[in-house]
Amino acid sequence: MREVDAHVAEATALVSTLAPVTLPLREAFGTVAASDQEAQVPSPPFDNSAMDGYAVRAAEVVGATAAHPVRLPVAGESAAGAAPATLPPASAWRIMTGAPVPVGADAIVPVEHTDGALDTVSVLAASESGRHVRRAGEDALPGDVVLSRGEVLTATRIAALAAVGVAQVPTVSAPRVAVLATGDELVDAGARLGPGQIHDSNAVLLEGLVREAGAVPVLLERVGDRPEQLLERLSGVDADLIVTTGGVSVGAYDVVKAALADRGVEFSAVAMQPGKPQGLGRFEGTPIACLPGNPVSVLVSFAVIVAPMIRRLRGLDTADAGETAVAASGWRTPQGRRQFMPVRFVSRGTVAPATAGGSGSHLIASLARAQALADVAAGVDQVEPGATVRIVRWDG
Ligand SMILES: Nc1nc2c(c(=O)[nH]1)N[C@H]1C(S)=C(S)[C@@H](COP(=O)(O)OP(=O)(O)OC[C@H]3O[C@@H](n4cnc5c(N)ncnc54)[C@H](O)[C@@H]3O)O[C@H]1N2
Ligand code: MOO
pLDDT tens digits for 51-61?
999 999 999 99
pLDDT tens digits for 301-352?
999 999 999 999 999 988 888 899 999 999 999 888 999 999 999 999 999 9
Confidence of residue 260 (pLDDT cuts 50, 70, 90): very high
CA 245 to ligand 1 center in whole angstroms: 9
pLDDT tens digits for 136-185?
999 999 999 999 999 999 999 999 999 999 999 999 999 999 999 999 99
CA 84 to ligand 2 center in whole angstroms: 70
Within a domain: residue 228? yes
Same domain, 53 and 178: no
DSSP 380: -
Q: Can you give the residue range of the structural domain that contains 256?
A: 4-16+174-314
C-alpha Rg value of the chain to the nearest Å: 31
pLDDT confidence of residue 193: 97
Tally of domains in the chain: 4
Within a domain: residue 300? yes
Same domain, 195 and 212: yes
Q: Is the CB of 361 under 6 A from ligand 2?
A: yes
Within a domain: residue 287? yes
pLDDT confidence of residue 11: 98
The CATH code of the domain that includes 152 is: 3.90.105.10
Averaged over 75-87, what is the pLDDT? 97
* Closest C-alpha to 287, from 175, 165, 167: 175
Same domain, 66 and 34: no
Same domain, 167 and 179: no
Q: Closest-lying ligand to the alpha carbon of 294?
A: 1
> Rounded to an integer, what distance in angstroms lies between the CA atom of residue 45 and that of residue 142?
10
Whether the predicted interface score ipTM is above 0.95: yes
Same domain, 97 and 199: no
Mean pLDDT of the chain: 96
Within a domain: residue 319? no
Element (H, E) at 237: none
The CATH code of the domain that includes 95 is: 2.170.190.11
Q: Is the CB of 279 under 6 A from ligand 1?
A: no
Same domain, 25 and 168: yes
pLDDT confidence of residue 281: 98
DSSP 350: E
Best of 4, 297, 341 to mutate for ligand 2, by most ligand atoms within 8 A of CB? 297
3-state SS assignment for residue 48: strand
pLDDT tens digits for 222-234?
999 999 999 999 9
pLDDT confidence of residue 143: 98
Q: Is the CB of 297 under 6 A from ligand 2?
A: yes
Give the atom of ligand 1 at the shortest distance from the alpha carbon of 275: 14
Please say whether the beta carbons of 269 and 1 come within 8 A. Answer: yes
Same domain, 30 and 165: yes
Parallel, antiparallel, or unpaired: how do β-strands 198-199 and 372-376 relate?
A: unpaired
Same domain, 234 and 296: yes
Within a domain: residue 75? yes
Same domain, 126 and 167: no
CA 275 to ligand 1 center in whole angstroms: 9
Q: Is the CB of 243 under 6 A from ligand 1?
A: no
Same domain, 182 and 278: yes
pLDDT confidence of residue 358: 62
Given a cut of 80, is residue 396 above it in pLDDT? no
Packed helices 4-13 and 307-314: angle between N→C axes, nearest 10 degrees: 30
